[in-house]
């Protein structure tokens, strides 16, 4: 385990907004192990019993615990939080805020915290809104938070663990060398993500943790990691090619919950430990689900320069991949099996491929995670040949990364510990501009897709 003394991070006063399962599984143990003080924890009144029960399992307890009314779940304005949080914030000594809510409330929570003099560590993405939405609203949220961060002199870190992942660091080192030493740009980037999250049909209708009912799905759940990978790598081309990062051309195709359930009348057997037997047999309900967020998203696009030179990119963000959930026994979100593949081409000179997964959950969880990075080089470029990096190599390169650890989880913790030590160099909000521009463009296309489906649904009902 990394020694927090190396980070100079002992004893910071922290407030947490959003104390769900994500916070407890990813962040609470870091605060506990590293000696930080949890000055305030905030969640919704509807989650009171669950939050109290989860804190009871740990030694680190919040000095103050506040539960907000349910309507504040999707709060958009920081002014709404003043009534509930301003009095307590004057009574505690806090320096940083961890925001672990669903992204619809990110703008309000981050703005409120920075206005109160706190540095902010926030889950990705920077913001989200229910879709369909007005074009450009995500960029407005982003710019609003950037301006606050700059004007108030407050740090705002976005939790994107691949920015602190040693495998992705190797990729960016190779690209930087090609661009700086040989004037070789990236010509295409392609990603495939498998979420491996198996849901009952009715769970699509009510989930609030990684929800679908607000018109967005995988893009705003895990997809932003890969949007950020594409945009940040494309941005590396800037010294050679002036790409128009603000206006990427994109085309999408989606699968939504109503598409995954091929028939409207499907009996879903629920184990009594989870609830009762549910019959999803309401055709109108599933017709409305056509407006629900995407389960799978495919997109292709390109960045162009004033001279027509471009960078091609594509993505497949898929929740319907192999899962380990025992469907009659486990709750939504359990048994998730992640996988990702990445292919980056630098013309004919170099190709970089990455393949990683948590397939070990399907066999022996104690095995090292599945990981392989391969860099193929033209004979005339940097000695030529093939370089291969295994999961064992990552732990050799980064000695603080245990061989049995999940590398993404380790990177997330490293990102948080760096932030708590006042190092925001990995993922400062200012560095997410190109990523938010691409996310905004994809969200516009998703809004168009929902509107087309709605028109089709209306036509079929006439």
Residue with structure tokens 């993500």?
193
**CA-CA distance, 362 to 381, in Å (whole number)?**
40
Class of 161-407+416-454 in CATH: alpha beta
Domain boundaries, the chain: 4-123, 161-407+416-454
Q: What is the pTM of this model?
A: 0.91
Q: What is the DSSP string of 193-223?
A: EE------TTHHHH--SS-STTS--HIIIII
What Rg value do the Cα atoms of the chain yield, rounded? 22
Q: What is the pLDDT of residue 268?
A: 46
d(CA 128, CA 436): 11
Helix/strand/coil for 368: coil
Q: How far apart are the first and last CA of the chain?
A: 63
Phi, psi of 429 (to 5 degrees): -55, -30
Q: Distance between CA 307 and CA 116 in Å, rounded?
A: 46
Q: Is 136 left (phi over 0), alpha (psi -120 to 50) or beta?
A: left
Cis peptide bond N-terminal to 132, omega within 30: yes
Give the residue among 152, 38, 49 at the shortest CA–CA distance from 97. 38
pLDDT in tens, 162-218: 999 999 999 999 999 999 999 999 999 999 999 998 887 778 878 888 889 898 999
Look at residues 302, 305, 322, 329 and name the one whose alpha carbon lies nearest to residue 313: 302
Pairwise CA distance, residues 150 & 156, whole Å: 10
Three-class DSSP category at 248:
coil
Residues in the chain with pLDDT values less than 70: 1-10, 260-289, 328, 457-462
Alpha carbon 237 to its chain centroid, in Å, reads: 24
Tokens at residue 394, please?
């990552």
> Residues 6 or more apart from 349 whose CB is under 8 A from it?
178, 182, 184, 377, 378, 380, 381
Give the rounded distance of the alpha carbon of 99 from its chain centre. 13
**CA–CA distance, 336 with 323 (Å, rounded to integer):** 5
The helix, strand and coil proportions of the chain, stated in percent and rounded to the nearest 5, come to 40, 20, 40
- CA separation (Å) from 258 to 291, 312, 321, 448? 9, 31, 17, 17
| CA-based nearest residue to 293, from 203, 189, 204, 388 | 204
- Predicted confidence at residue 287, as pLDDT, reads 60
4-123 CATH choice from 2.40.110.10, 3.40.50.150, 3.40.50.720, 2.40.170.20 = 3.40.50.720
pLDDT of amino acid 262: 47
CA separation, residue 121 to residues 18, 115, 224, 253, 428 (Å): 12, 14, 16, 33, 9
Supply the DSSP string of 338-362, one letter for each residue: -EEEEEEEETTTEEEEEEEE-GGGG
Q: Determine the pLDDT at residue 309.
A: 75
Residues 321, 197 contacting (CB under 8 angstroms): no
User: How many helices and strands in the chain, by DSSP H and E?
Assistant: 15, 16
């Amino acid at each position: 385990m990394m020694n927090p003394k190396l980070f100079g991070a002992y004893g910071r006063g922290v407030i947490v907004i959003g104390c769900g399962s994500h916070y407890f599984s990813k962040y609470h143990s870091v605060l506990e192990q590293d000696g930080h003080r949890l000055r305030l924890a905030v969640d919704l009144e509807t989650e009171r019993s669950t939050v109290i029960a989860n804190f009871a399992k740990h030694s680190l307890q919040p000095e103050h615990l506040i539960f907000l009314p349910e309507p504040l779940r999707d709060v958009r304005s920081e002014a709404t939080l003043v009534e509930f949080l301003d009095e307590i914030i004057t009574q505690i000594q806090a320096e940083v805020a961890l925001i672990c809510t669903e992204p619809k409330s990110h703008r309000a929570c981050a703005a409120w915290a920075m206005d109160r003099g706190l540095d902010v560590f926030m889950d990705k993405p920077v913001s989200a809104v229910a879709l369909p939405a007005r074009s450009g609203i995500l960029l407005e949220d982003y710019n609003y938070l950037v301006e606050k961060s700059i004007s108030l002199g407050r740090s705002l870190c976005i939790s994107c663990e691949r920015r602190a992942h040693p495998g992705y660091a190797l990729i960016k080192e190779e690209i930087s060398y090609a661009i700086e030493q040989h004037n070789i740009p990236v010509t295409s980037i392609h990603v495939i993500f498998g979420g491996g999250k198996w849901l009952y049909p009715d769970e699509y209708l009510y989930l609030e943790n990684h929800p679908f009912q607000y018109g967005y799905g995988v893009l705003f759940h895990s997809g932003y990691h890969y949007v950020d990978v594409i945009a940040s790598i494309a941005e590396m081309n800037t010294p050679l090619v002036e790409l128009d990062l603000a206006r990427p051309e994109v085309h999408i195709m989606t699968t939504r919950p109503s598409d995954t359930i091929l028939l409207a009348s499907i009996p879903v057997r629920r184990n009594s430990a989870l609830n009762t037997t549910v019959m999803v047999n309401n055709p109108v309900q599933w017709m409305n689900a056509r407006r629900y967020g995407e389960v799978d998203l495919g997109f292709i696009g390109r960045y162009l320069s004033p001279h027509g030179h471009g960078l091609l990119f594509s993505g497949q963000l898929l929740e319907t991949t192999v899962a380990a959930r025992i469907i009659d026994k486990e709750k939504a979100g359990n048994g998730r099996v992640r996988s990702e593949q990445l292919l980056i081409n630098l013309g004919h000179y170099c190709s970089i491929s990455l393949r990683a997964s948590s397939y070990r959950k399907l066999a022996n969880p104690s095995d090292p995670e599945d990981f392989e990075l391969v860099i193929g080089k033209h004979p005339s470029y940097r000695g030529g040949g093939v370089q291969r990096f295994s999961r064992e190599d990552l732990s050799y390169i980064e000695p603080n990364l245990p061989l049995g650890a999940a590398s993404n989880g380790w990177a997330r913790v490293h990102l948080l510990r760096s932030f708590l030590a006042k190092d925001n160099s990995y993922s400062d909000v200012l560095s997410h501009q190109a990523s938010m521009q691409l996310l905004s463009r994809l969200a516009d296309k998703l809004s168009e897709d929902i509107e087309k489906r709605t028109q089709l649904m209306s036509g079929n009902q006439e």
